[in-house]
Every structure is written in structure tokens, then in C-alpha cells.
């Protein structure tokens, strides 16, 4: 893999004496490339698969999305930090849990200028232990990922600029590939809990669902808060169960519907314990809705396969077409694996497809009330192009109750 013309230790330069500069952060790729920059966020090192995200907003939600566990996020948009951060927009249910392991920026963090901001972005990064690097040619880095795939990498931050480069190179080279990794246990808990918080609205902020019509059991592979809020908005009391909950634990709650959550890692690895439970839920003909990793879990339960993508889909500007209506939705994406549509059985129908690369983005079962999508409809990039999917799930549950 040949790197483009990035700021690296191998790049020839002759700075004038009065411009002497020492890097306080390094981005070390698995092929040995070292890219120098300025450290931001926490001191130390962050390790993982290097991806890029094309979203112009939502950096706090991205970095706290459990699906990003084990990944270093390169933001292609140059102005990161301009709305600050707050404690309300964190997407991890457990506020203490990490998601993304690092970040890469083109420029220094900008000053916050939003009335909801309670902290500076850099301070928030330090508090959460997220290591970052700024001053990088993110266009060249994105082109590298586009052309050669997502490499493993280490981002290191030391204010004194003291790095053992040989050791960092060796460690980056030895990092395990994402394929085969079950990361779900690192972003979920072992206890069940109830969820009733509804979406944010001016001027009250977040609300509470007090008169639920439906009971939904959510299998937590790394669920985002806003998914649970949109279910609560639609009259759902949500009981969240651990990812390895057996089918009997789900069925004894007598749910009106089951939700299969998003999450990180290789779906085939998670499927070893999740698929049997999902198959039992489908056999019970309980309305089922999956998002992201949940979509992949549903496909695996049907006997289909998932494949590793070279660059993955990460951003808030992805066009996805629904076959039935011809409607094109602008959606948020975050996945490095995809369902291989060619392996879907006859009982499953492809419902959505990416207009970027033709990859599968949705399925539904022809003989049972179950469907799923690869995109994140709760992330509201369109801003609400895909919220109808939650309404579709509610309609399935209402039909079952009436029946």
C-alpha cells in the first residue's frame, strides 16, 4: 500500500530556524507510514481501524455511537468543534462507556458557538479519554482509504513530542483485523433495563413516555439513545435485554415487538450467540425490526452471509433507494460490513439499496412480520427521511394486537 503525499517523517523539508516545530501527535499506519500532527484530546494512544466520516455535523454523536468501537474516525469536514458539546447528545446509554478510539482532524478544534454547548470539545475529549490528532491532510488520507481500504492504525499524543516510533510501527502492524472480532460485549451491559425517555423538543428538552401502547424488547448489541427515544415517541415501553439473552427470556416478556439494535464488530462473530435467539423470535412471528448490526443479524438468521467492505459507509449524506416506492432517502450510515444480497433466501426480499455502490441496505420477510435496514433512520440526516420505518414497525405491532 503506497501512501499519498501526507505529512510524514519521510517527507523532505527544510524549515527555517524560526519555524522549528515538533509534532505532539503521530498517526501510525499498519504499513509503517507515520504522519505527524498536533495532539488534541487525551494524552496516550488510541488503536483501531482507520475510517473516514463525511458528515458535516454530529461529531459528538458520531464519537459516542457504540458502532464505532475499535475505530479511529477521520472527519472530512474541516470545522469540528464549532457547536461545542453537551451531556445530552451522547449516544451511548452508559455514559461512561467509550465508542470511537480516536479521531483525525484537518485543522485545530474551533471555538464553540452554540447556546446548548456546555463544554469545549477538546476538554470533552480529554475527559472521555479520546486521543486525537489535528493538522492532517484529511483529503489525502481519505483518498488513501478509498483506494486501499481501511488500515489499522494508532494515534499517539504526547505534549512533549516524545515517541518510540519503532514500537508504534510494530504495534500498528500487529493489530488484529476487524473481521472475526466480536466487539459487542464491550459496549453492552449484562443487566436488563427499561427505557421511557422521548425525543428532544423545544423548549422542554427530553420528555417521558407515560402512556405506552406497546411493549418492545430491544436486544442490545450497542444501541443508540435516539433509537430508543424514537420508539418511546411512538407509544412504546422498551425493555432492553443483553445481547446474549436467550429466546426464552425474550418470549416470557410477551412483547408486542422485538428490536434488533446496532453495534460494532464483525456480525458473523456476534451471530454465534445472537442468531439462535433471533430465529426463535421469527418462529414465534413476533414483529421484528433491525437497524445496522441488527439488520445484519436478521440476514444471518435467515442463512445469508455478510461481507467485509473495503471502505465501509460512514457519513450523513448517503443516498438509499427504497425499491417499492422509488423514493431516495438521504441517510446516515456507519458500517464496515454488508449483507451479501446474493445469499438471501427466497423468503426474504431486498427493500433498499445504496445508490453509491449498490450494496444491500434493507430486507423484509415475505412470510413473517420482520424487516431491517442498514442505515440509521434515527440519526435524522434528511432530516427525517427514514422516520417512517419506526411507524412501519408500530403498524406491524398494532396489526398483530388487533389480530
Partners of 330 in beta bridges: 319
- Distance, in Å, from the CA atom of 218 to the CA atom of 255, rounded to the nearest integer, reads 10
For residues 221 and 194, is the Cβ–Cβ distance under 8 A?
no
Annotation marks residue 292 as catalytic: yes
For residues 104 and 157, is the Cβ–Cβ distance under 8 A?
no
- Distance, in Å, from the CA atom of 103 to the CA atom of 116, rounded to the nearest integer, reads 23
Of 248, 242, 365, the C-alpha closest to 301 is 365
Annotation marks residue 376 as catalytic: yes
C-alpha cell at 15: 524549515
**Cα 172 from chain centroid (whole Å):** 22
- Distance, in Å, from the CA atom of 26 to the CA atom of 39, rounded to the nearest integer, reads 8
Q: Is the C-alpha dihedral spanning 28, 186, 226, 231 positive or negative?
A: positive
In the set 292, 295, 322, 361, the catalytic residue is 292
Of 260, 201, 189, 270, the C-alpha closest to 227 is 260
With H, G, I as helix, E, B as strand and everything else as coil, classify residue 311.
strand
Strands 257-260 and 214-219, sheet pairing: parallel
For residues 129 and 42, is the Cβ–Cβ distance under 8 A?
yes
Active site residues: 292, 376, 378
Amino acid at each position: 500500500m503506497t501512501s499519498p503525499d501526507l505529512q510524514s517523517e519521510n517527507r523532505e523539508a527544510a524549515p527555517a530556524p524560526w519555524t522549528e516545530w515538533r509534532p505532539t501527535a503521530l498517526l501510525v499506519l499498519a504499513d509503517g507510514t507515520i504522519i505527524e500532527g498536533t495532539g488534541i484530546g487525551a494524552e496516550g494512544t488510541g488503536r483501531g481501524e482507520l475510517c473516514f466520516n463525511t458528515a458535516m455535523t454530529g461529531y459528538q454523536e458520531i464519537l459516542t455511537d457504540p458502532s464505532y468501537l475499535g475505530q479511529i474516525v477521520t472527519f472530512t469536514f474541516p470545522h469540528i468543534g464549532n457547536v461545542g458539546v453537551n451531556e445530552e447528545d451522547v449516544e451511548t446509554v452508559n455514559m461512561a462507556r467509550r465508542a470511537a478510539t480516536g479521531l483525525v482532524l484537518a485543522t485545530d478544534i474551533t471555538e464553540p458557538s452554540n447556546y446548548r454547548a456546555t463544554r469545549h470539545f477538546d476538554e470533552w475529549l480529554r475527559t472521555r479519554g479520546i486521543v486525537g490528532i489535528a493538522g492532517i491532510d484529511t483529503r489525502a488520507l481519505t483518498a488513501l482509504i478509498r483506494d486501499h481500504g481501511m488500515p489499522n492504525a494508532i494515534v499517539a499524543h504526547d505534549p512533549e513530542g516524545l515517541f518510540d516510533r519503532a514500537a508504534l510501527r510494530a504495534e500498528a502492524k500487529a493489530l488484529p483485523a476487524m473481521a472475526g472480532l466480536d466487539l459487542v460485549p464491550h459496549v453492552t451491559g449484562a443487566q436488563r433495563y427499561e427505557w421511557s425517555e422521548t425525543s428532544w423538543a423545544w423548549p422542554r428538552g427530553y420528555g417521558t413516555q407515560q402512556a405506552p401502547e406497546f411493549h418492545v424488547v430491544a436486544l442490545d448489541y450497542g444501541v443508540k439513545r435516539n433509537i430508543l427515544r424514537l420508539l418511546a415517541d411512538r407509544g412504546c415501553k422498551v425493555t432492553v435485554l443483553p445481547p446474549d439473552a436467550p429466546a426464552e427470556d425474550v418470549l416470557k416478556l410477551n412483547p408486542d415487538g422485538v428490536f434488533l439494535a446496532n453495534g460494532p464488530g464483525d456480525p458473523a462473530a456476534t451471530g454465534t450467540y445472537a442468531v439462535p435467539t433471533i430465529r426463535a423470535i421469527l418462529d414465534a412471528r413476533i414483529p421484528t425490526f433491525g437497524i445496522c448490526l441488527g439488520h445484519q443479524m436478521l440476514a444471518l438468521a435467515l442463512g445469508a452471509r455478510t461481507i467485509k467492505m473495503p471502505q465501509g459507509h460512514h457519513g450523513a449524506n448517503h443516498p438509499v433507494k427504497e425499491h417499492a416506492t422509488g423514493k431516495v432517502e438521504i441517510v446516515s450510515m456507519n458500517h464496515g460490513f454488508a449483507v451479501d444480497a446474493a445469499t438471501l433466501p427466497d423468503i426474504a426480499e431486498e427493500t433498499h439499496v445504496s445508490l453509491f455502490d449498490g450494496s444491500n441496505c434493507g430486507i423484509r420477510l415475505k412470510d413473517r412480520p420482520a424487516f431491517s435496514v442498514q442505515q440509521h433512520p434515527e440519526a435524522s440526516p434528511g432530516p427525517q427521511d427514514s422516520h417512517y420505518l419506526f411507524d412501519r414497525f408500530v403498524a406491524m405491532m398494532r396489526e398483530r394486537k388487533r389480530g
